[in-house]
Structure 1
Amino acid sequence: MPTSKKGEGVPPPAAISAVGLRKSFGDKTVLDGIDLRIPTGSVFALLGPNGAGKTTVVKILSTLITADAGELRVGGHDVAAEPQAVRAAIGVTGQFSAVDGLITGEENMLLMADLQHLPRQEGRRVAAELLERFDLTDAAKKPASSYSGGMKRRLDLAMTLVGDPRIIFLDEPTTGLDPRSRHNMWQIIRELLADGVTVFLTTQYLEEADELADRIAVLHDGKIAAEGSSEELKRIVPGGHVRLRFTDPAAYRTAVATLHEADRDDDALALRVPSDGTQRELRSLLDRLDSAGIETDELSVHTPDLDDVFFALTGGTDKHKETAR
């Protein structure tokens, strides 16, 4: 996560903040007092089950719909009082592509440049640079309807960047993409972060949040069920352990006698010792083994993954589900 250059312990300024964000549709409360603070130059991921309200959060913060209550600021601007200033500071790529398939990729880019009121020559320069950056130069003169899913998503994001926004909302940007296209999009997001851009990401892929985000929040029943770094979230779920495997039966028996809390696998000559995976706990375990003169042949640390966290927080039971909207 970014750190302040003015001194340690001083948090970086917030690119996006929300205090007490509430939104209902009819008698259904979708957001019930959401608090968020997203530092400048970071990637924030919002996870939640289908219908949890992730897209509603994006629409409110990007001024597409209004909140019922809450103090909201984006790019230093009050979302309710200064919507035009907010729109000038952000870019939004939604779940569904804004690409017009009837015109070429280049024409889509030039249309966006016109909408951003860029002078014609500058618009052409920016369009050409972004098409090259997103590896779309060869396809620029072809109708966008002929593009693959990955190419359309890249073009969609390139169009979002025409105005050089410093805050970008990506609402499930890789949904439906094959693994290669998804990884290409991840690399683009990392490059945006390296340029100092703030990214607010909603995703149905837990791996995506784990891979990209500085901080992750899980939205459930209209509230933030948990928030933290990937590693912090994984530590709140039980199930972490250290696995010790032995080839010497005598060493295994000594370890069993020493580590009373461990789960035994006599067939594999292996022990599972409960652990949160921290350096302190691992050092303590190694000290116990050394004191008893025990040599293990293999040691591996296992911590819960984001799937475990998500299902524990949202009450899901299907461990084989990949998605969580």
Structure 2
Amino acid sequence: MTDTNKNNGSITPPAQTQDRQPGFEHEMEPRPVYICQDYKGSDKLKDKVAIVTGGDSGIGRAVSLHFAREGAKVVVVYLNEDKDAEETKKLIEDEKGECLLISGDLGDQAFCKSVVTKTLAHFNKIDVLVNNAGEQHPKNDFLDISSEQLEKTFQTNIFSMFYLTQAALPHMNKGSTIINTSSVTAYGGSADLIDYASTKGAITAFTRSLSENIVTNGIRVNGVAPGPIWTPLIPASFSEEKVGHFGANTPMKRPGQPSEVAPAYVYLASDDSSYVSGQIIHVNGGTILNG
């Protein structure tokens, strides 16, 4: 859905749920707003090649499409949401952009290496890496978090960033950028998403530490910490009742749209942020956080 109305004309979405992670965008009602008609590209990323994980839907789709509108070639990496991924590819191509789809489990180090190999074979370089894919599994009781869930959440959310960044970094040059998706939960905590919030805290620390490690190479590392954003992960994670109140506790009293987050990634990927590294941008509906 492309719309000039950023909050899609509603304060909170209607009650709904999905029965699997990470969820399908094409089953959501209303569909997320992934780009606004009044967003005008200005070649900020002209001829750059960007890898976007979780790029089939939600924030990843919005980032991919904004990058394409700014002139980038985009590699969309996703798990198995083929219908959503194909739609994202068509949207990019409608922008006269180029898109390569790669599906697989980013928690597998061998797959992460193959993402880099396929990207280089298709586009010959890597300029931007967006580590965005993630999953969450709410548990009201801390004791109900199984070792299997704990390992899977960390494998998908933070181990994958190590794997893919280690594979991509040798092929990135001065001026390249890495952008990691953290979360408001890394700063404010979350009573029913303890393992997820812990991975997001790790991502913030990873962002800052990696920046310190490679900033003298001319490669910048930053992150974005979204608040409640209307993506497939929400109905795939929570009850109908909770979805029906999603985002209402923010100062803006509504969830954000992916289209409201993606421009932060454009800024961090472009030369507009040439003096910015090791930082986290908070896009969260007005919640004030220190850090």
TM-score, reference length from structure 1: 0.29
More strand by percentage: 1
Q: Which has the higher contact order (CA 8 A, sep 6+)?
A: 2
Select the structure of larger CA radius of gyration: 1
More helix by percentage: 2
TM-score, reference length from structure 2: 0.32
